[in-house]
Amino acid sequence: MMGLWPLSGAMEKQATHSTVRSASSPNRAVVGAVLAVALVFGLVRAIGFMMSADGGAVVDRARAVTASQEVVDRNSVLLKPFPIADGRWRLKADLDRVDPRFVAMLIAYEDRRFYAHPGVDPLALARAALQAVRNGRIVSGGSTLTMQLARLLAPRPKRSLTAKLVQMRDAIRLDLAFTKGEILALYLTLAPYGGNLEGVRAASLAYFRKEPHKLKLAEAALLVALPQAPERRRPDRAPHAAESARNRVLDRLVAAGVIEADELGPALAAPIPSRRLPMPNLAPHLALRVAASGTGSRQALSLDAGLQKTLEDLAKSRAAALGPEISVALLVADRRTGLVRAEIGSADFFDERRAGQVDMVAAIRSPGSTLKPLIYGLAFEAGLAHPETLIEDRPASFAGYRPRNFDFGYQGTVSVREALQLSLNIPAVRLLDAVGPTRLVARLKRAGAAPKLPRGGVAGLPVGLGGIGLRLEDLVTVFAGLARGGEAIRLRRTEAGEVAARPFLDPRAAWHVTDILRQTPPPADRGPQGFAYKTGTSYGYRDAWTVGYDGRHVIGVWVGRPDGAPVSGLTGRTAAAPLLFDAFERLTATFGTGGIVPLPLAPPGTLIAAAADLPPALRRFAPDQPVNGTQVREPAPTITYPPAGARVALSRGADGLPRPLIVKLDGGRPPFQWFANGRPVEAEGRRRQATWRPDGPGFSTLSVIDAGGRAASVTVYLE
């Protein structure tokens, strides 16, 4: 930053002024003559440069200055900036968002007549020349902030009188083309602060993790001092040099009356930052998508930075507790407007073990049981069932498709309300068989989802239990529609556009679904929630889901391995639901709602009745085509998880021992006896699953024998 006249502040100029005045009269004459010759020479050369063909190039360069692309939240809080092409952090400075005291300190120290001179300060140049003659060396500089900006816009390799005159010419050009505020904003955007940091915003974020409108006195003084020698004074590499420079700024500003004397002590005692901090990196997956597709240097999203940071920390800690390769995705939307308030694509963007750069909000996965509420809603809408309708949870075959409940047990006769709250598979398939899987897929699309059908594109009954591909965003969109009483709404990441809602489900049916989900039992160690929610687990423990909503927000959670590998025992209820409850707690704290926002009341015409008071046709589910649900006898047992030949990843607990694995079977007649490598496994005899703690990695054989003496076994490899 130093040319023939090194850059220094107005305070240095003032400090040496008395020395010049004490020179003898002959010396003054000599100085005056030298100064006059220099000024005339400089004026002639400056006029020549001003008339040259390239004299306006600096103005064009100033207008073409590019800054880092920024993604900000709904309150203009920076979520994530992106470096410019050569890797420098150059954040555009906005004077309205820079501490006015910092600006006053900068001008007082560097260029006290900034607002009065035309880009070049003749008095400062004359003083610098007099001091150089008097001391036989360069004592202080005469560069203005505008001249410094000119040098930043057109750096020259050699320091010479010609280079300085070019700066003077360019400074005058800049002063004619821009306002003082625009010149100051350009300087604060381009000023070097060490390494690849340019501009006061990049420096403030890197050294203090705050925007420059929040600077404290000591911090502002350090940022005033750094551009004079950015590499020699870098606080992360030369803390003593940085501290000395900062303290000189403070001392001279006190002497000039810019800051109060009683502020000096605390400011001098303030520590110097010892390291550079990373730039903000909130919502990195979404920010990358927006930056790649958007135009302009600033993209404003509907997210809330405070909530985003809180939930990112929550997701990271939850994933760490679940295992080293497990990730988490989370999406929060305002159910009234569809605006997304937080979006977390992974537990840790930089964690390679968790494939952190894979955006699981947009990944297509099996939704497990999370679509059951829509199945029940369609049955309510069609008049096939009521929450208090009785329905059978018994073994059944649907044209060869034989679904089983998650625990491979059966509840017998239950109410539809209980069937949905317990997430029973057989009743859900019975209802889906009645309403039709094609209708389910069509309603998903009308709700705003983009389901991916299995190969062949034919919707069968398995779609109701997860035999379809959906994204977390799709699920949140569908549940937002349920929360709105059957009105579909598109999720948005920006405030632009209007809310365009359209019905996709009868509002009374949607209310019944919400009323049932609101009473879903909470996970272990959790109290009544006050919001509606549904969990889901995909086949083979690959995906754990939960989606919940209250009167204001919808939250969707996914937990699993991004590579799709199974995780033994990973379920929506045990892995995803606790995270949902924690997210709602942090959501209400962030938005100050004082708790869960109540869900809406039942719409007019909603039938609310006990089972005995229902019309006869609704007391028991009996579709017009009963041929679809024929009871069958259980076949021989088959171990369904882990499947034969599978490679199962073991995880270890705090005691260093392998964590238990859940093993499941289909068919057979209880009670059952389980064996692992020939040794009995303790299990509830009438349940179709057992908990097995392996000895360690390697091949293992699992076997089961039912009450009829029929057996099944599989061999798996544990790693």
Q: How far apart are CA 95 and CA 418, in angstroms?
A: 61
Q: What is the pLDDT of residues 490-506, one digit of tens each?
A: 999 998 877 778 999 99
Q: Are strands 89-90 and 197-198 parallel, antiparallel or unpaired?
A: parallel
- The pTM is what? 0.79
- Residue 688 contacts residue 651 (beta carbons within 8 Å): no
d(CA 686, CA 683): 9
Please check the confidence at residue 370 and state whether its pLDDT lies above 60. Answer: yes
- Residues 611, 523 within the same domain: yes
Domain containing 167: what range? Answer: 10-269
- Domain-embedded: residue 585: yes
Which CB contacts under 8 angstroms, 24+ apart, belong to 88-91? 88/196, 88/197, 88/198, 89/196, 89/197, 89/198, 89/199, 89/202, 89/206, 89/279, 90/66, 90/189, 90/190, 90/198, 90/199, 90/202, 91/67, 91/189, 91/199, 91/201, 91/202, 91/205
pLDDT score at 16: 35
Q: Answer for the pair 661, 692: CB distance below 8 angstroms, yes or no.
A: yes
Q: Are residues 610 and 646 in the same domain?
A: no
Backbone angles phi, psi at 542, to 5 degrees: -90, -30
The CATH number linked to 651 is: 2.60.40.10
Q: Using one digit for the tens of pLDDT, what is the confidence trace for 100-151?
A: 999 999 999 999 999 999 999 888 776 766 665 565 555 455 789 999 999 9
Quote the pLDDT of residue 632: 47
Among the candidates 561, 594, 628, a domain finishes at: 628
Take residue 99 and report the two structure tokens written for it.
């501490």
Q: Is the pLDDT of residue 21 over 80?
A: no
β-strand partners of 331: 343, 556
524: CATH: 3.40.710.10
Q: What is the pLDDT of residues 220-231, one digit of tens each?
A: 999 999 999 999
Place of tokens 């004619």: 176
- Which percentage of the chain shows pLDDT scores above 70? 86
CATH (domain of 225): 1.10.3810.10
């069509």: which residue's tokens?
442
Q: Could you give the C-alpha distances from 462 to 8, 220, 278, 584, in angstroms and in order?
A: 76, 63, 47, 31
Residue 557 has pLDDT above 50, yes or no: yes
Last residue of a domain, one of 237, 269, 301: 269
Total domains present in the chain: 3
- Both 549 and 695 in one domain: the answer is no
Domain end point (choices 269, 286, 307)? 269
Does residue 487 form part of some domain? Answer: yes
Is residue 261 over pLDDT 50?
A: yes
Q: What's the pLDDT at 640?
A: 86
- Mean of the pLDDT values across residues 165-186? 94
Task: Report angle CA 388, 394, 399 to the nearest 5 degrees.
Answer: 110
The predicted pLDDT at position 37 comes to 43
- What's the CA gap between 67 and 298, in Å, rounded? 10
Average pLDDT, stretch 611-617?
90
Residues 150 and 22 in one domain: yes
Is pLDDT of 518 > 80? yes
pLDDT tens-digit map of 583-597: 999 998 877 666 789
Instruction: Kindly state whether residues 619 and 659 are assigned to the same domain.
Output: no
User: In terms of domains, do 591 and 714 share one?
Assistant: no
Does the pLDDT value for residue 339 go beyond 70?
A: yes
Confirm if 330 and 556 have CB atoms less than 8 A apart: yes
pLDDT band at 643 (very low <50, low <70, confident <90, very high): confident
Does the residue 617 lie in any domain? yes
Beta-bridged to residue 535, according to DSSP, are 546
Within a domain: residue 672? yes
Nearest to 354 by CA among 536, 567, 190, 210: 567
DSSP 455: T
**For 149-153, 168-172, 611-615, 709-713, which range has the lowest pLDDT when averaged over its residues?**
709-713
Question: Are 541 and 645 found together in one domain?
Answer: no
In a domain, 527, yes or no: yes
Number of other CB atoms surrounding residue 412 within 10 Å: 7
**316 falls within a domain:** no
Q: Which residue has the higher pLDDT, 253 or 569?
A: 253
Residue 24 within any structural domain of the chain? yes
Asked whether residue 607 falls in the same domain as residue 668, the answer is no
Q: What DSSP designation does 237 have?
A: T
* H/E element, 87: none
Domain co-membership, 713 together with 586: no
Q: How confident is the model at residue 92 (pLDDT cuts 50, 70, 90)?
A: very high
Residue with tokens 């809602």: 501
Note whether 442 and 589 are same-domain residues: yes
Catalytic residue among 12, 68, 70, 110: 110
Burial 110-141 (b: 16+ CB within 10 A, else e): bbbebeebebbbeebbbbbbbbbbbeeeebbb
Among 150-154, 290-294, 307-311, which range has the highest average pLDDT? 307-311
Q: What is the mean pLDDT of residues 207-212?
A: 97
Q: Is the pLDDT of residue 407 over 90?
A: no
- Give the pLDDT of residue 4: 25
Residues 593 and 668 in one domain: no
- The mean pLDDT value for 317-336 works out to 95
Determine contact, residues 151/119, Cβ cutoff 8 Å. no
* Percentage of the chain lying above the pLDDT 90 cut: 65
Split at pLDDT 50, 70, 90, the class of 686 is low
pLDDT tens digits, 651-666: 777 677 788 888 888 8
Do 579 and 713 lie in a common domain? no
| pLDDT level of residue 55 (50, 70, 90 thresholds) | low
How far apart CA 562 and CA 270 sit, in angstroms, is 45
pLDDT of residue 5: 28
Q: Which of 369, 538, 568, 700 is catalytic?
A: 369
User: DSSP secondary-structure letter at 572?
Assistant: I
Peptide bond into 239 cis (omega under 30): no
- CA of 693: how far to CAs of 37, 232, 292, 675, in Å? 94, 60, 47, 12
In a domain, 644, yes or no: yes
**Mean pLDDT, rounded, of the chain:** 87
Q: Is 369 a catalytic residue?
A: yes
Mean pLDDT lowest for which of 158-162, 370-374, 582-586, 588-592? 158-162
Rg (CA), the chain: 36
User: Would you state the pLDDT for residue 367?
Assistant: 97
